[in-house]
Amino acid sequence: MCLRAHDTQDALLEDEQTTKHVWRDYATEASRVSRLGGPISLQAALVFISSLVSLAFAGHLGKLSLSQAVLALSAYNITGVSMLLGLASGMETLCSQAYGAGNYMALGLVLQQALIISNLVFLAILALWTQAGPLLLLAGQEPEIVEGAVMYLQLSAPALWCYVMAECLKRYLLAQGIVTPATIVTACSAALAPLYNWLLVDVYDVGLAGAALANDAVQATVLVGLAVYVLARDHCIKGTPQQTWPGWSVKCFHGWWSYLKLALPSVGACCLEWWLYEGLILMAGWFPNADVAVAAMGVGFNTTALTYTISLGVGGAASTRVGHELGSGKPKRAQLAATTVIGLEVMLMVVVVILGIALRDVWGYLFTSDPEVIDAIEYILPLVFLSEIGDGLNGVCGGVMRGAGRQLLASIENLITYWVLGLPLAILLGVHFNFGVEGLWWALCITTSVQGLAMLITVSAFDWQAEAKRALLLLEQHDRAVEGEGEALLDGAVVPQEERPGGQGNFAQAV
């Protein structure tokens, strides 16, 4: 009996120690995610605030200038940012997995590929913008608004170029776990945004064009600051085992398809969600009291954009942590990272919902003094914040998928939920049943909840051992493609690490 009691006590003690060990692992992972995700969220929030500063200065010029700036920014986001941001996201898989595998030089080659591909797409976007006037008129916009919007859009081309170049550099650094420099330069640019706008719009009296040029200056500040840091850091680690920049190489012109296979689904996922939100704002213009409906919808959209910066940070941390662990051949650690970021995101979104609903009586006053608009905002705000739970899960699970190289899955699920479910539901509730803006937000709330649940189920079903092996094959395929040896691996064979041209690290031995 004594022996049995002693054995039972030992078993209980072992279970308690195991539980403490598991919780310690989660706490450690949560700390890692917070150190990465917090600065990323802050960067996204500062970028959002900087754009609002330019919009506010444009608004002070009058209603017409504000309408022109809003239309231009909508076209800027739909045709420019959503496309190029998706392309840059293709770096997250290859860079994070390569860094985890110890194949550091691969990061520099992927960066070169991303920069070249992004520049080519940017030129295509510029060609499209030369036809922005006829296209906006074809979409039924007022000629007076279109004239100023086209001017603002075309003057914003330098801002778009600087933005996407900076995003590539940010992902290059993020894959190495470096986020502080990007946060510092983004904070500096946000602090300078009012000064740039004041000088160009008010002091030099450039008008609406000044607001566009000020945005160019803000984005240029970010790019210059990041470029200086990257060049200095790469120079300091040159010749060390941690060197990530191999110098410009013709190899960056090889293996584009292996990069685009990851990047294009990211473009699709980003555009499918972004375009639906923008489309629903336009749909609000069909309702009675369209000015109130559009204003309330716009405030709701900007509110979700602000709160979504949290999900962007956690999702960015998720892609990096999952990519690192899969790249280093540690599937259990990758699963731990995925579980941690999902749990952390749910807790954060619950806090956001509680705070948002508590502030619904005063939130509208931050954007307008119109009583009708304020009432409409107060009415829809609970739905706006509730939609963030599913949208947040979508963003974080999307980060996990990017880390695992599963962007195509995310893109397919976005297509089904947002356009097969979300758009018809918005038309049904908002237009057919005359629920107006409330109907649109009910549709979004249902859609994001279904989307978030679908993404959660998909990630939960991952075979992490298989994902680690797939990450190895993915990196090997890209290495072979860059070396000009073709995209495919024969019979799924893995090239031994010691036979990889320029290979570093111990990834081949890890799985």
What is the tens place of the pLDDT at every residue in 216-273?
999 999 999 999 999 999 999 999 999 999 999 999 999 899 899 999 998 988 888 8
Apex CA 469: angle with CA 490 and CA 492, to 5°? Answer: 10
Average pLDDT, the chain: 87
The helix or strand, by DSSP H or E, that contains position 179, with its residue range, turns out to be none
Asked whether the predicted pLDDT for residue 13 surpasses 70, the reply is no
Segment among 197-201, 247-251, 282-286, 427-431 with least mean pLDDT:
282-286
Asked whether the predicted pLDDT for residue 314 surpasses 80, the reply is yes
- pLDDT attached to residue 505: 40
The model's pTM: 0.87
- pLDDT attached to residue 278: 81
Cα torsion angle, 371, 376, 382, 386, sign:
negative
Asked whether the predicted pLDDT for residue 168 surpasses 90, the reply is yes
Closest CA to 174 of 92, 86, 81, 89: 92
Asked whether the predicted pLDDT for residue 509 surpasses 70, the reply is no
Asked whether the predicted pLDDT for residue 364 surpasses 90, the reply is no
Asked whether the predicted pLDDT for residue 500 surpasses 60, the reply is no
- Is the CB of residue 308 less than 8 Å from the CB of residue 391? yes
- pLDDT attached to residue 12: 44
What is the number of other CB atoms lying within 10 angstroms of the CB of residue 39? 23
Task: Fill in the DSSP letter of residue 287.
Answer: S
- Is the CB of residue 293 less than 8 Å from the CB of residue 376? yes
- pLDDT attached to residue 21: 67
- pLDDT attached to residue 259: 93
How far is 324 from 496, CA to CA, in rounded Å?
Answer: 20
Highest-confidence range of 152-156, 351-355, 375-379, 487-491, by mean pLDDT? 152-156
- pLDDT attached to residue 18: 54
Apex CA 80: angle with CA 74 and CA 82, to 5°? Answer: 85
Q: Which two tokens stand for residue 450?
A: 């279904």
The helix or strand, by DSSP H or E, that contains position 178, with its residue range, turns out to be none
What pLDDT digit, counting tens, does each position of 99-132 carry?
999 999 999 999 999 999 999 999 999 999 999 9
Contacts of 412 (CB under 8 A, 6+ apart): none
Asked whether the predicted pLDDT for residue 186 surpasses 90, the reply is yes
Highest-confidence range of 149-158, 247-256, 355-364, by mean pLDDT? 149-158
Q: Which of the four pLDDT bands, split at 50, 70 and 90, describes residue 274?
A: confident
Mean pLDDT across the stretch 89-101? Answer: 93
Mean pLDDT across the stretch 421-441? Answer: 93
Task: Fill in the DSSP letter of residue 489.
Answer: P
- Is the CB of residue 337 less than 8 Å from the CB of residue 318? yes
Higher pLDDT, 62 or 174: 174
Buried b (16+ CB within 10 A) or exposed e, 350-380: eebbeebeeebeebbeebbeeeebbebbbbb
Closest CA to 340 of 352, 325, 356, 355: 325
Q: Which two tokens stand for residue 272?
A: 């499918």
One-letter identity of residue 433: F
Asked whether the predicted pLDDT for residue 285 surpasses 80, the reply is no
How far is 405 from 95, CA to CA, in rounded Å?
Answer: 11
User: Residue 153's Cα: distance from chain center in Å?
Assistant: 22
Highest-confidence range of 23-27, 328-332, 503-507, by mean pLDDT? 328-332
Helix (H, G, I), strand (E, B) or coil at 132: helix
Q: Which two tokens stand for residue 165?
A: 């170049």
Higher pLDDT, 209 or 11: 209
Mean pLDDT across the stretch 464-483? Answer: 91
How far is 104 from 244, CA to CA, in rounded Å?
Answer: 5
Q: Which two tokens stand for residue 157?
A: 């081309």
- pLDDT attached to residue 48: 87
434: left (phi over 0), alpha (psi -120 to 50) or beta: left
Task: Fill in the DSSP letter of residue 420.
Answer: I
Segment among 62-66, 190-194, 231-235, 352-356 with least mean pLDDT:
62-66
How far is 182 from 193, CA to CA, in rounded Å?
Answer: 16
Apex CA 376: angle with CA 380 and CA 58, to 5°? Answer: 105
Percentage of the chain beyond pLDDT 90 is 64
Q: First-to-last CA distance in the chain? A: 46
Asked whether the predicted pLDDT for residue 490 surpasses 70, the reply is no
Segment among 68-77, 165-174, 209-218 with least mean pLDDT:
68-77
- pLDDT attached to residue 44: 92
- pLDDT attached to residue 485: 67
Mean pLDDT across the stretch 406-421? Answer: 93
- Is the CB of residue 408 less than 8 Å from the CB of residue 401? no
- pLDDT attached to residue 348: 94
Asked whether the predicted pLDDT for residue 174 surpasses 90, the reply is yes
How far is 378 from 444, CA to CA, in rounded Å?
Answer: 17
Asked whether the predicted pLDDT for residue 140 surpasses 80, the reply is no
- pLDDT attached to residue 451: 95
Mean pLDDT across the stretch 72-79? Answer: 89
Q: Which of the four pLDDT bands, split at 50, 70 and 90, describes residue 502?
A: very low
How crowded is the C-beta side of 388, counted as CA atoms within 13 Å?
30
